[in-house]
Amino acid sequence: MARVLSGIQPSGDLHLGNYVGAISRWAREQQPEHFFCIVNLHAITVPQDPAGLRERTVDLACWLLAAGLDPDVCTLFVQSHVAEHAELSWVLECTATMGELGRMVQFKEKSAGKESVSVGLFTYPVLQAADILLYQADEVPVGADQRQHVELTRDLAQRFNTRFGDTFTLPRATLPEAGARVMDLQLVDKRMAKSVESPQGKILLGESEDETRRKVMRAVTDSGAEVRAAADKPGVSNLLDLMAAVTGTDIAALEAHFDGKGYGDFKREVAEAVNAYLRPVRSRYAELRTDPAMVEESLRKGAGKARAVAAETMEAVRDRVGLLPRA
């Protein structure tokens, strides 16, 4: 059974792309060997308002539980609740080089044009490596933009193992299936992503059904009037892909269904399909939001399970490196 670990930042609002591409799949495939970490220590690599950070951490936990992650099956926890993350990160920082961290594309993008960036933003991928290696993960489900960080994790693990003896499992990135890519409704050649500035192009999990409907009705379509997938019809193709993803129908069947109908009818049906798809998770979220004690209890339980695994790895690391054992 493969050990799986993934991390998600409590920053920005979750959107349909996060849900279709990652979270819904985590829930569907969850196993006792799967770990999901809300990475609040990564969030503070850029300035955060404390109350806002606290709020978004609980909020993200609610969404993950609403999506169906079950604390009795998998392990869902908050990164800062398990002190070993920061501790292993330090040890790994002493194995990583300035050169390799300087080559990280995400760092280059996030620091470009900034007068001053935190050291934490630079060492961010090492903390991510610690998240992964503490749990001896085999697989790391991530978006394509995180592949380089998982490669770095492998390199650091390999280097540590060579220098100090076999300690860490070498992980590999697993990317979402092709059908799980949701495109922006306005910028039709871009993925729906936090990093893309396109408020009208992203369907948020936390918005109302009316807002979702409005965004779909205003989605960019193409010239012509036919509803069919084609290279010269990227807007319509994206909406067909979206409807296929949320209904589980194939594109050809959808094209046949919309034969003779115009864009207006088409979009109304897409909007309804998206709302119907999100309705259960939105309503469970609303319930959980009123029950902070239950959310807290879930996270406490998750931290306990995570800590047991992390502590064991960290003990081995201290021993290998020559740090005296804790009494």
> Interface residues with ligand TRP (CB under 6 A)?
5-7, 9, 39, 42, 128, 131-132, 140, 142, 146, 149
Check: CB of residue 65 under 8 Å from CB of residue 76: yes
Q: How far is the CB of 128 from ligand TRP (least distance, A)?
A: 4
317-323 long-range contacts, CB within 8 A, separation 24+? 317/88, 317/91, 317/167, 320/160, 320/164, 320/165, 320/167, 321/91, 321/164
Smallest gap from residue 140 Cβ to ligand TRP (A): 5
Least distance from ligand TRP to the Cβ atom of residue 58, Å: 18
Q: Is 142 or 288 the residue whose CB approaches ligand TRP more closely?
A: 142
Smallest distance from ligand TRP to CB 102, Å:
17
Q: Estimate to the nearest angstrom the gap between the alpha carbon of 88 and the chain centroid.
A: 22
- Closest contact distance (angstroms) between CB of 249 and ligand TRP is 30
> What string of DSSP letters covers 242-286?
HHHHHH---HHHHHHHTTT--HHHHHHHHHHHHHHHHHHHHHHHH
Give yes or no for a contact between 235 and 223, defined as CB atoms under 8 angstroms apart. Answer: no
Q: Which residue is nearest to ligand TRP (CB)?
A: 7
Of the two residues 37 and 273, which places its CB atom closer to ligand TRP in the complex?
37
CB of 279 to ligand TRP, least distance (A): 27
Q: Residue 199 is which amino acid?
A: P
- Asked if 139 contacts 4 with a C-beta cutoff of 8 angstroms, the reply is yes
For the bound state, the minimum distance from the C-beta of residue 124 to ligand TRP, rounded and expressed in Å, comes to 7
Choose between 132 and 271: whose C-beta lies nearer to ligand TRP: 132
Residue 172 has φ and ψ, to the nearest 5°, of -130, 150
Q: Based on CB atoms, which residue is closest to ligand TRP, 140 or 288?
A: 140
> Of 42 and 233, which has the nearer Cβ to ligand TRP?
42
The residue among 184 and 269 lying less far from ligand TRP, judged by its C-beta, is: 184
Residues, the chain: 327
240 contact partners, CB below 8 Å, separation of at least 6: 227, 228, 229, 251, 254, 255
Q: Residue 93 or 272: which CB sits closer to ligand TRP?
A: 93
Q: What's 53's DSSP letter? A: H
